[in-house]
Every structure is written in C-alpha cells, then in structure tokens.
C-alpha cells in the first residue's frame, strides 16, 4: 500500500442486515454515490476517519444472499470482492455484516465469503435488538468457530460503532497480511453450507430468545387477509393526500420567492433581451420545476419510511396476487409506487427485481404511472375546462377527472405489462421469494440522507437539462425578431413558429394548434415545462392584456374542449421527459429498449389523444 | 427422502400449521430455483411455521423458517415436501 492512501474495506451482507444503516453510521454524510460502469448497480463509497488517524474508504456493496449470483447486484458484489470489478480496486479487507437476531440465516454467506480466502472480519449488527429479544450470543465462541475476528455493533446508535472502529483501526494492518486460515473445510454446496452454519449458530447462541413480539402482532394486523389490503390502500390514500395538502404551503413559498426574483430582475435589468431571458426564460422555466420539490420530498419521505420500517416488503406481499395477474410479481409494486413521484427513481428501484424480463417490463411501464410532473399540466387544463361543480352533491367534478387520469395511467400500465409479458417478455412465471424483515423504527438520520440524495438528483435536473431547454425555447421564440412592418405578434415570426407550424401538420388530426405544438418541444425536457412553455408562447404571442390575464383564462378562450381533453390524454401517455428516457437508456443499457419505450408511448399518446379529440368533438358537436 | 403418510407439500398448508422439510421435489423445479429455495432455508430438516396467506386464492403465503419470515407463492411452495407436525 502506498503511504497516505486509505484502506479499502468492502461492506458485505444479506439484504435487511442493517448494512446501510451501519454504513451511514460509520461514514456519516461523507459518501459518494455513483454507478459501476456498464451495469446498473449503485456504487456507494464513504470515508471513515478513525480517532487514531487511519483513513478507511468503505465500499457499501449491494445486499446479497449468496455468492452464486442470481442478480446483477449479486454479480457485482462477487466481482468487487474478488477484485475483478471494472472501476473498483480490490478491497484490502471484507467486513461481513450479520444480523444478530437471525444468525443461522446469515452465516452461510459468511462461510462463502471466508472460502474466498480474503482478509475479513465479521460484525454482529443489531445487537441491541437481539438483547431486547433475549438473544444472547457468545461472540468469542462465534469467532473461534468461524476462525474470524467478530465484533458486536449497534448501527442505530452512533456510540454502538465505537468498538467496531477501534477493532478496525487496530486489526486492519495485521488482517491484511493474514487471510483467514482453514478455508478447505468449508462445504461447497448449499446444503452443506447451511448445515455448517447451523452447527456454528448452535455453538455460539447461548440463549435463543423469543420472537420479536411487535413483528408478530403487527403482521397479524398488516398481513390479515382482509384488514391488510384495506390498511395498504388507506396508507396509499393518506400518502397522496399528504403529497397534495402538506406541500401546498412550501410550494407557495417557492412561488412567491420566484415572483420576487422576477420582480427584482425586471426592475434591475434594463437591457430588454437580457431581462426577457432571465425573467421569462430562466426564472419562469426553472421555477416551474423547482416548485415540485416539496411534493417529491413528501412522497419520498413516505416511501423511505415505509421501506425503513419494514412495511414495504409487506406491501409487496399484499400486491403480489394483483401483479401476478399481469405476469409480474410483488416486487414490481415498489418501483411502480415510486413512479408516482417520478419515473426516474421508479426505474432505478426496478434494480431490486431479480428477473431480467420482469425488470425490463417494469421499466417499460413505469412512465405510465402519473408522476408529479404531470400534475401542473393536469391542474391547469382541469381548472380551465372542467366546471367546478359537484356531482351527486358530494364529489367534485374536477377532483374526479384528476382521479380518473391517475386510474387511466395505472390501468394502461397494467395492460401494457400484461401484453409485454405475453409477447416480447414471454417466459416462465417468475417466482416470488421475499424476506419480510422485522419491523423497526426508521433511523431518521438514514431517512434524512435518503431525502437529501433525492433532492440533489432533482435539483441537478432542474439546473441542467431544464435550464438549458428553457433558454433554447426562449431563444427560439424571440429570434429572429419581427420585421419593422409586422402586423402579427413577434413570436409569429420567430423560429419557434416555423417549428410549431411544421409540427402542426402532424398534430392537427388530434386537435393541437401550433402553440401547443411549439410547447411540446421544450415539454420534451420535462412534462411540467409545458405549462411554462404555454405561458411563454401565449404571453409572447398576445398583447399586454394577454400577459396580464392568467393562463387559465387565455386557454379557455384559445382552445376548444376537444383540444383540451386531447391534450390531457396526450400527457397520460407521451414520454415528454428526456430524463426518463436517459435513465431508461442507462438502466436497460440498450438503445433498442429506450427507443421502444419512447415509440410505444408516443404511439399510444397519439392514438388516445386523437380518439379523445374526435369522440369529444362528435359529442359536443363542434 | 422419507415419504410417509404425513407427507404434504408446503403449499397445501394453512396458517398455524407447522412442519419439517423433507426435501424439494425432483420435478417441476429448475436447478436455479432449487438453489434459491435451499439458500433461503428450505433445506432438509428445517422447521417451518405457516404464518399468513393472501386474500385471493390464499396466495402468496408467509412462512417462518430459520428465524426469518419469507413470502412465497403456493406454486413454489408446492415443490417443497414437508412432514406435517400433528398437534399435540
């Protein structure tokens, strides 16, 4: 090892062993998240600086039940440990994380790792939970039986990692030169591994303890045949309520700050072109995206808490039968649920699906779930065209239309998944084999780190692709300037109008005018940009009065009802989000599947929007 | 594999019943699936307690094995042969 370089320690363990919580406790916020080249497996590295002055780079490897790779995650774990993974130097040592509350279940992986003959040590995680359940483990006996150093740790509390850090600082150097002895006696077959694991567990466990009572009681409620699904739907309902009602206040703050900035920019900047770029282009465009941050964070707060508490696996259990109906399994429920916030994390969450076909199917249909970016579009059109009245005295018509759009997306996703699984992704039914972890209080630090990561990803997107597209749209609609003898509004002479009029020949049959056609171009960057773009197009194309009147009023007079409904339907399907397509390319590692996704979504959007247009037209008789 | 009068498939059991694994069926299971089932603890002599079942078709089911609760479908559970414990 070169002097000054950090030790490299790989963190390995079964899923649900509390590995990530331990990683967060050891490294705090000092972690880097990336991807391994060529595969869609997350690479997470953090630096631990021990009190004795040693720097340790900790690599948090994906949770894995065995070294016989059944998924892309497990294959990467395998390769990293063996030092064969591209983009990762071989680790100096392995830290195997074991859940102390179910030792026998976790030990086969420890034995498999030991057989690799790499320097390694074992840490018994969740010791506090084991003590609570009356489980007593003889750490010395375990170390003797395994022939490996064993340290107890409590990932939940920071103090609980002190022993582990001390052991790491004192043993890493000697460990490196001293790989575990006696790897020959470790069985190579699954049955043998399990037998040996049970023998060691028996020798090390002083007291079996009793089963976690809370888990038993909660499961009786949450997995009850009738109450279980009812509670799940109640939770989902609460989640969507929260997304809309809790987010309102912070969204107003963001809106006010942006208006404030626009006012400031208008009064401070005198150059009309620069002022227009900043106020109408950048601030309006980026603001229209940043405003969704509260909704996205609230949705992720729910998802992260449900995951950390252990409930998410139960949700997958409850949804499995429904998902089986379209050929997927319960695991696909989590990515699809995340897609209600945003398809990007949803598509990334599909990594946990072990079957490649199921994973691809889930990725292909994830954009059909109504993401929060569609909300501003839906809200705008509904406010403008759907009368605000109650039907049967109780249900608001506007809310009902919004709800139907959500349902329409879900049904479309299920139908497309079913069709894909019967055609392109045909294959044997994929089994469900899912661990239901013990219930736990979420560790708030971990939830906060998760939320912070989501916020960063989202803001980077707003600052990058959306900012650029807003500037491009602004330029397109401002240049070339109108001739001196112009009789039409300036945008009529701009490049945007040429493009819009060109596109209109394609979109006229489904009722779109050229203003919509223009707005669809920046709307490709992200769905919510379409609202800002329509604002830009109409504000620029009208008189001072048109700017003053709200967009709702403008649309009401500029569009017919068939056009408005057709536009709504277009947004149910159209992949108007370059980031989603980019992430689909990265996750599928295939241009073919990316183009397939974009193609089928555009085709469905065109057909359904067209059908909506012509059916509405014949009903209202326009 | 010792097959007796008490031999059933795990898939035929209901919540509350306990059993002991005697083996995985020779047919209808891929080598990969067998490996995964063994890995998750459905190996010979493992003691299993059936805990929960789903609403439709009583599918999937949740069982306790090796101190861990696992969910699986009846279809896969039907490939696991067990000896049912008789209530004492």
A112-139 pLDDT, tens digit per residue, is: 999 888 889 999 988 888 888 889 999 9
Which residues fall within 8 angstroms of residue A618, CB to CB, at 6 or more apart?
none
ipTM for the predicted complex comes to: 0.94
How much of chain A, in percent, has pLDDT values that exceed 70? 92
Boundaries of every domain in chain A: 7-210, 231-422
pLDDT at B2: 66
Residue A35's pLDDT band, with cuts at 50, 70 and 90, is: low
Architecture of domain A7-210: 3-Layer(aba) Sandwich (3.40)
Return the number of other C-beta atoms located less than 10 Å from residue A86's C-beta.
9
Residue A319 burial (10 A CB sphere; 0-12, 13-18, 19+): buried
Which residues from chain A sit within 8 angstroms of residue B35, using beta carbons?
Answer: 66, 68, 190
Which residues from chain B sit within 8 angstroms of residue A101, using beta carbons?
Answer: 67
CA angle, A591 as apex, A590 and A594 as ends, to 5°?
95
* Closest by CA position to A307, among listed A245, A235, A359: A235
Q: How many angstroms away from the CA of A27 is the closest CA of chain B?
A: 29
Nearest CB among A219, A316, A321 relative to B59 is that of A321
pLDDT at A382: 87
Residue A186's pLDDT band, with cuts at 50, 70 and 90, is: confident
Nearest CB among A68, A215, A320 relative to B35 is that of A68
**Pick the residue with more confidence: A489 or A205?**
A205
Q: Answer yes or no: are the C-beta atoms of A598 and A581 closer than 8 Å.
A: yes
pLDDT at A550: 64
**Pick the residue with more confidence: A95 or A396?**
A95
pLDDT at A256: 87
pLDDT at A294: 86
**Pick the residue with more confidence: A272 or A216?**
A216
Which residues from chain B sit within 8 angstroms of residue A321, using beta carbons?
Answer: 54-57, 59-60
Residue A548's pLDDT band, with cuts at 50, 70 and 90, is: very low
Which residues from chain B sit within 8 angstroms of residue A223, using beta carbons?
Answer: 51-52, 62
Which residues from chain A sit within 8 angstroms of residue B58, using beta carbons?
Answer: 225
* Closest by CA position to B64, among listed B32, B16, B7: B16
Which whole number is the average pLDDT over A20-26? Answer: 87
Q: Is residue A277's pLDDT more than 70? A: yes
**Lowest mean pLDDT, pick from A269-273, A329-333, A613-617:** A269-273
**CA–CA separation, A410 vs A416, rounded Å?**
10
Q: Is residue A325's pLDDT more than 80? A: yes
Determine whether the interchain pair A219/B62 forms a contact, defined as Cβ–Cβ distance below 8 Å.
Answer: yes
Determine whether the interchain pair A432/B51 forms a contact, defined as Cβ–Cβ distance below 8 Å.
Answer: no
Structure tokens at A177: 């030169």
In Å, how far from its chain's centre is CA A11?
23
Which whole number is the average pLDDT over A304-316? Answer: 91
Residue A229's pLDDT band, with cuts at 50, 70 and 90, is: very high
Which whole number is the average pLDDT over A42-70? Answer: 86
Which whole number is the average pLDDT over A405-429? Answer: 89
Determine whether the interchain pair A219/B69 forms a contact, defined as Cβ–Cβ distance below 8 Å.
Answer: yes
Q: Tell whether A513 lies on the interface with B, counting CB pairs under 8 A.
A: no
Interface size A-B, in CB pairs within 8 Å, comes to 105
Task: Give the DSSP per-residue string, A237-252.
Answer: HHHHHHHHHTTHHHHH
Using CA atoms, how far residue A480 sits from A476, A498, A518, in Å, is 8, 11, 16
Structure tokens at A540: 């620029």
**CA–CA separation, A131 vs A370, rounded Å?**
45
Which whole number is the average pLDDT over A605-618? Answer: 95
pLDDT at A482: 76
pLDDT at A569: 94
Q: Answer yes or no: are the C-beta atoms of A99 and A152 closer than 8 Å.
A: no
Mind listing the pLDDT tens digit for each residue in B1-42? 667 778 899 999 999 999 999 999 888 788 888 888 998 999
Q: Answer yes or no: are the C-beta atoms of A351 and A73 closer than 8 Å.
A: yes
Going along chain B from its start, the domains and CATH numbers come out as 32-79 (2.30.30.90)
**Pick the residue with more confidence: A241 or A419?**
A419
Q: Is residue A232's pLDDT more than 80? A: yes
Find the closest chain B residue to A330 by CA distance. B60
**CA–CA separation, A424 vs A192, rounded Å?**
39
How much of chain A, in percent, has pLDDT values that exceed 90? 25
* Closest by CA position to A447, among listed A304, A242, A243: A304
**Pick the residue with more confidence: A494 or A621?**
A494
Mean pLDDT of chain A: 84
Residue A223's pLDDT band, with cuts at 50, 70 and 90, is: very high
Residue A546's pLDDT band, with cuts at 50, 70 and 90, is: very low
pLDDT at A622: 58
**CA–CA separation, A329 vs A57, rounded Å?**
37
Mind listing the pLDDT tens digit for each residue in A60-89? 988 888 888 777 778 888 888 888 888 788
Residue A545's pLDDT band, with cuts at 50, 70 and 90, is: very low
Which whole number is the average pLDDT over A184-193? Answer: 85
Q: Is residue A583's pLDDT more than 60? A: yes
**CA–CA separation, B66 vs B44, rounded Å?**
12
Q: Which residue in B29, B38, B46, B69 has the most chain A C-beta atoms within 10 A of its own C-beta, making it the best mutation to test that interface?
A: B69
- The backbone region for A116, taken as left when phi is positive above 0, alpha when psi lies in -120 to 50, beta otherwise, is alpha
pLDDT at A143: 92
Which residues from chain A sit within 8 angstroms of residue B76, using beta carbons?
Answer: 431-433
Residue A1's pLDDT band, with cuts at 50, 70 and 90, is: very low
Q: Is residue A432's pLDDT more than 80? A: yes
The pTM of this model reads 0.83
Residue A582's pLDDT band, with cuts at 50, 70 and 90, is: confident
Q: Answer yes or no: are the C-beta atoms of A146 and A133 closer than 8 Å.
A: no
Q: How many angstroms away from the CA of A220 is the closest CA of chain B?
A: 8
**CA–CA separation, A47 vs A57, rounded Å?**
5
Which residues from chain B sit within 8 angstroms of residue A68, using beta carbons?
Answer: 35, 39
Q: How many angstroms away from the CA of A117 is the closest CA of chain B?
A: 21
Strand, coil or helix: A543 = coil
A18: which DSSP letter? S
In Å, how far from its chain's centre is CA A235?
19
pLDDT at B48: 95
Q: Answer yes or no: are the C-beta atoms of B62 and B71 closer than 8 Å.
A: yes
């Amino acid at each position: 090892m070169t002097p000054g370089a950090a030790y490299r320690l790989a963190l390995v363990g079964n899923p649900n062993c509390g590995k990530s919580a331990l990683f967060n406790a050891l490294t705090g916020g000092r972690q880097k998240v990336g991807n391994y080249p060529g595969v869609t497996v997350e690479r997470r590295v953090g630096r631990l600086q021990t009190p004795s002055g040693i720097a340790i780079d900790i690599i948090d490897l994906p949770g894995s039940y065995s070294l016989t790779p059944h998924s892309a995650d497990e294959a990467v774990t395998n390769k990293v440990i063996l030092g064969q993974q591209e983009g990762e130097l071989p680790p100096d040592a392995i830290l195997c994380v074991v859940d102390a509350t179910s030792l026998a279940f976790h030990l086969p992986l420890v034995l498999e790792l030991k057989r690799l003959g790499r320097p390694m040590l074992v840490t018994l995680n969740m010791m506090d939970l084991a003590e609570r359940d009356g489980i007593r483990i003889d750490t010395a006996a375990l170390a003797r039986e395994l022939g490996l150093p064993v340290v107890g740790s409590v990932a939940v509390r920071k103090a609980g990692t002190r022993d582990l850090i001390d052991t790491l600082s004192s043993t890493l150097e000697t460990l490196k030169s001293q790989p575990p002895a006696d790897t020959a006696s470790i069985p190579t077959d699954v049955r043998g591994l399990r037998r040996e694991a049970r023998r060691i567990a028996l020798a090390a466990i002083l007291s079996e303890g009793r089963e976690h009572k809370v888990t038993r009681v909660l499961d009786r409620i949450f997995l009850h045949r009738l109450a279980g699904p009812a509670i799940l739907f109640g939770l989902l309902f609460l989640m969507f309520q929260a997304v809309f009602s809790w987010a309102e206040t912070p969204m107003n703050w963001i809106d006010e700050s942006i208006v404030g900035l626009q006012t400031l920019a208008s009064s401070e900047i005198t150059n009309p072109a620069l002022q227009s770029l900043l106020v109408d282009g950048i601030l309006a465009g980026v603001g229209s995206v940043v405003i969704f941050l509260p909704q996205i964070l609230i949705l992720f707060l729910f998802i992260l808490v449900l995951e950390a508490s252990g409930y998410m696996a139960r949700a997958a259990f409850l949804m499995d039968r429904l998902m089986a109906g379209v050929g997927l399994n319960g695991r696909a429920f989590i990515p699809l649920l995340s897609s209600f916030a945003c398809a990007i994390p949803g598509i990334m969450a599909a990594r946990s699906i072990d079957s490649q076909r199921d994973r691809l199917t889930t990725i292909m249909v994830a954009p059909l779930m109504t993401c929060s970016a569609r909300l501003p579009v839906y809200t705008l059109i509904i406010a403008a065209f759907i009368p605000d009245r109650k039907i049967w005295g109780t249900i608001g018509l506007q809310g009902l239309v919004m709800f139907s759009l959500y349902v329409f997306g879900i049904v479309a996703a299920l139908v497309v998944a079913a069709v894909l699984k019967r055609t392109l992704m045909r294959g044997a039914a994929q089994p469900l084999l899912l661990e239901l972890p013990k219930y736990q209080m979420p560790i708030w630090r971990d939830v906060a780190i998760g939320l912070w990561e989501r916020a960063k990803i989202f803001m980077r997107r707003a600052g990058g692709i959306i900012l650029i597209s807003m500037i491009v749209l602004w330029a397109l609609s401002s240049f070339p300037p109108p001739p001196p003898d112009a009789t039409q509004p300036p945008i009529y002479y701009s490049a945007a109008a040429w493009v819009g009029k060109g596109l209109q020949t394609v979109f006229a049959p489904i009722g779109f005018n050229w203003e919509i056609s223009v707005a669809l171009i920046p709307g490709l960057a992200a769905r919510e940009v379409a609202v800002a773009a329509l604002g830009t197009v109409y504000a620029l194309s009208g008189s001072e009065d048109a700017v003053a009147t709200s967009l709702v009023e403008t649309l009401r007079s500029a569009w017919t009802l068939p056009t408005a409904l057709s536009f709504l339907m277009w947004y149910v399907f159209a992949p108007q989000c370059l980031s989603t397509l980019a992430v689909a390319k990265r996750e599928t590692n295939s241009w073919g599947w990316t183009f397939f996704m974009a193609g089928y979504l555009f085709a469905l959007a065109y057909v359904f929007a067209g059908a909506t247009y012509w059916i509405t037209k014949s009903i209202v008789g326009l | 594999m010792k097959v007796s009068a008490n031999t059933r498939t795990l898939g035929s059991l209901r919540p509350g019943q306990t059993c002991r694994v005697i083996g995985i069926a020779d047919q209808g299971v891929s080598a990969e699936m067998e490996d995964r089932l063994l890995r998750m603890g459905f190996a010979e002599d493992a003691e299993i307690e059936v805990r929960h079942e789903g609403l439709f078709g009583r599918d999937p089911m949740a069982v306790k094995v090796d101190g861990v609760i696992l969910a699986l479908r009846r279809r896969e559970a039907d490939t696991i042969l067990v000896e049912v414990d008789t209530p004492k």
